[in-house]
Chains A and B, each alone.
Chain A
Amino acid sequence: MRTISPTSKGIGLRSEHIDVLCQQPALEGINFLELAPENWMNMGGTKREALECVADKYPLVAHGLSLSIGDVQPLNIEFVKQVGKFLDRYNIDIYSEHLSFSRDQQGYLYELLPIPRHKENIAFLSDRINAVQDILQRPLVLENISYYHEYQGDIPESEFFSLLVEKTQCELLLDINNAYVNATNHDYDALAMIKSLPSDAIRYFHIAGHLKEDDNFLLDTHGKDVSHDVIQFAKDVFDYHGARPLLLERDHFVPSLECMTEELHHIHDCVMASTPIVHR
């Protein structure tokens, strides 16, 4: 089995591609696959068979959707334990999730909602992150979401993440497109934000396409090819932080595996030009 290195590149596992991935030997151009554990655990039938097949061929990374680490309800311990079993079963080292909440006192809302980035919330969130890390026996890798709502008194994202890393030794999944989208929509310097993140904590990168609305507002849709501007920004990110595994996301209008692999290689070639490699 191959391992994931700083120069590895991967794609999100999509049902549209799974038959092709299962039918042929592991593709040289795809070094790892990322999947949402919630979409695969506790499932039988075709999904389990397909998962067994791809897990034999590719290293997997788990990227969760439903942890809701930022809510104020009791942590769903049973759910975290199920995720842990899934990670162990498929030898998955990296478990990433969104720094967001998906649940209120009424129940789950099934969306990644932004949390108030206030310093007084750090201790509470750190406790929850530590609880998850204790159960999973792995670092929790937290992603910067694209957010369209801000709370009064929010501190900069990079400062908030840095405090969480300092308190919990959690790691970061830096979504380059989200950073670009947020900086554009909320009018700040994306590169300055990126540069103030703790480099050592960054475990891997996401990159994806976004949609520009009529008023130039950007929506993180994962429905288009990655824009030229985001690729250029990604190059700056790689130049500053060094190479990390890069994952291309696509959730809508999913192209063929061949097209996605081509796009992934194009992006990787662009961002890796003269990039230092960080060996962890």
Chain B
Amino acid sequence: MQRPPQNMQDLTQAFANGVRHTSIEQARSITRYHEFVRDNVRSVITHTFPMFSQQLPKQTIDHWVNEFLLQSQAIEPEFHHIATEFVRFLQTHSNALPAKVVSVLEYEWVLFNAEINPEIVTLPIKHQPETVTFESLSRCTLQLNPTLQLIEVPFHVENNAIQFIDENEPSQAYAVYRNTRHQVLSQPLGMRDRIVLDPLCQHGAITFEALADAVSTYMPTRDVSAWVLHFNHTNLIWIDKVSNVDSDFATSNQHLSGDLS
């Protein structure tokens, strides 16, 4: 591969520097491009992170857009990943904004990521929610929705608005995922939800029996069943065949395979 001519390197870098570091001394032909890039970045930020944008005055957003342009080392080529690059950038400037404001940005990035996550969200055909009964659960295995991300934030979200939690109160956990109808859902999690999700997150797939066993200290099996049926219905988890289970659990539950065959 040819090396770029030195003059081409110098000219393009000088022009790019001018676009990043605009000043009133710059030629209009350069400041115009600074404005284009600034507007692109601002547009992506305000559209992708509306709740974050509401937390800050316009001048503050403009300031950080300019800083992003000046300093960011964006590695993602796609324009929509300006959002990802902006989050990365602010995370490396931890004192740039109040931590709780950055947490709003991170929360909205998780929503964005669930929306575009390339994983296919489809329920196993033979186990649509309505076909699974309370009684048949013991013969099933459970999987997490592949788009699921868990996030803990210092606020509640109600009607797309942020309500920050007092500093001495515990933070709020959310399960963010895309359902089979391509809707992005954000499920506030209580202590019991987190207890049940913990073994699922650890193992990826787990038999119902193993799950009920793992949480038996905290929840009776009947409550675990109700939890599983409810969150299978919302697509946070789904119910699958026993043959898909992790080998650790398959070994201890081989007796169930015969029931399904």
Which residues on A are within 8 Å of B, measured CB to CB? 38-39, 42-49, 65-68, 70-72, 75-76, 79, 101-111, 113-116, 118, 120-121, 123-124, 127-128, 131, 148-151
Contacts and interface: CB of A to CB of B under 8 A. Distances in A.
A46 B180 CA distance: 10
B243 to A, nearest CB: 25
A108 B16 CA distance: 10
Contacts of A151: 11, 15
A46 B116 CA distance: 8
29 contacts: A43-B116, A43-B118, A44-B118, A44-B121, A44-B147, A48-B118, A66-B78, A66-B79, A68-B77, A71-B12, A72-B8, A72-B13, A101-B12, A101-B16, A102-B77, A104-B12, A104-B20, A106-B73, A109-B37, A109-B69, A111-B19, A114-B15, A118-B7, A121-B4, A121-B5, A127-B1, A148-B33, A149-B27, A151-B11
B120 interface: yes
B235 to A, nearest CB: 12
B203 interface: no
Contacts of B16: 101, 104, 106, 109, 113
A151 B30 CA distance: 11
Given A38-B78, A66-B78, A107 B72 contact: yes
Top-9 shortest CB links A-B: A104-B16, A66-B77, A72-B4, A149-B29, A107-B74, A38-B78, A108-B74, A107-B73, A46-B182
Contacts of A65: 78-79
Given A104-B17, A108-B85, 6 more contacts: A45-B115, A72-B8, A72-B13, A101-B16, A110-B41, A149-B27
Contact of B75 (A48, A104, A107): A107
B9 interface: yes
Contacts of A111: 19, 33, 36-37, 40
Contacts of B76: 108
Contacts of B121: 44-45
B112 to A, nearest CB: 11
Interface in B21-79: 27, 29-30, 32-33, 36-37, 40-41, 69, 72-79
Given A71-B12, A127-B2, A109 B73 contact: no
Contacts of A150: 29
B222 interface: no
A43 B182 CA distance: 12
A39 B78 contact: yes
Given A124-B4, A148-B33, A110 B74 contact: yes
A124 B69 CA distance: 28
B32 to A, nearest CB: 5
B80 A39 contact: yes
Contacts of B5: 118, 120-121, 124
B12 A44 contact: no
Contacts of B118: 42-44, 48
A148 B29 contact: yes
Contacts of B19: 109, 111, 113
Interface of B: 1-5, 7-9, 11-13, 15-17, 19-20, 27, 29-30, 32-33, 36-37, 40-41, 69, 72-80, 82, 85, 115-121, 147, 178, 182, 184
Contact of A44 (B7, B33, B78, B119): B119
A148 B260 CA distance: 68
B7 A104 contact: no
Given A45-B182, A66-B79, A104-B17, A110 B40 contact: yes
Contacts of B11: 116, 151
Nearest to B39: A111
A47 B80 CA distance: 13
Given A104-B12, A111-B40, A45 B178 contact: yes
A75 B4 CA distance: 11
A137 B182 CA distance: 34
A114 B69 CA distance: 18
Contacts of A42: 116, 118
A119 to B, nearest CB: 10
Nearest to A49: B182
Contacts of A102: 77
Contacts of A45: 115-117, 121, 178, 182, 184
Nearest to B181: A46
Nearest to A38: B78
A234 to B, nearest CB: 25
Contacts of B74: 107-110
A30 to B, nearest CB: 25
Contacts of A124: 2-5, 8
